[in-house]
Amino acid sequence: MNWNDLKLFLAIASRKSLGGAAEELNISSTTVFRHLNAFENEVGARLFDRGKGGYELTELGAEMFGLAQNIESSFHEIDRRFAGKDTQPRGKVVLTAPSSFAYWFLPEYLRTFNALYPEITVELLISNQELNMSNRTADLALRVSNNPPENLIGRKVCNINWGIYGTQQYLAEYGEPVDGGGLTGHRIIGASGNLAMNTAFPGWIGICPTRLYNAVMIL
Q: How far is CA 202 from the centre of its chain?
A: 36
Residue pLDDT, tens place only, 76-114: 777 777 665 556 778 888 898 888 888 888 999 999 999
| Same domain for 78 and 12 | yes
What is the CATH number for 98?
3.40.190.10
| Same domain for 78 and 8 | yes
Q: pLDDT band at residue 208, thresholds of 50, 70 and 90?
A: very low
Residue pLDDT, tens place only, 31-68: 999 999 999 998 888 999 987 778 999 999 899 888 88
Is it the case that residue 138 has pLDDT exceeding 60? yes
Q: How far is CA 73 from the centre of its chain?
A: 34
What was the pLDDT predicted at 213? 34
Residue pLDDT, tens place only, 111-123: 999 998 898 999 9
Look at residues 111, 134, 160 and tell me which one is the last residue of a structural domain: 160
| Same domain for 205 and 156 | no
Rounded distance, CA 70 to CA 131, Å?
A: 56
Decide: helix, strand or coil at residue 95. strand
Rounded distance, CA 166 to CA 164, Å?
A: 7
| Same domain for 11 and 58 | yes
Burial 154-191 (b: 16+ CB within 10 A, else e): eeeeeeeeeebebeeebeeeeeebeeeebbeebeeebe
Instruction: Give me the number of domains the chain comprises.
Output: 3
| Same domain for 54 and 41 | yes
**Residue 37 is part of which domain span?**
3-82
Q: In 3D, which of 74, 38, 27, 32 has the Cα closest to residue 55?
A: 32
Q: In 3D, which of 133, 130, 68, 61 has the Cα closest to residue 94?
A: 133
What was the pLDDT predicted at 112? 92
What is the CATH number for 22?
1.10.10.10
Q: Give all strands (DSSP E) within 113-211, no chain letters.
A: 120-126, 140-141
| Same domain for 73 and 38 | yes
Look at residues 82, 109, 142 and tell me which one is the last residue of a structural domain: 82
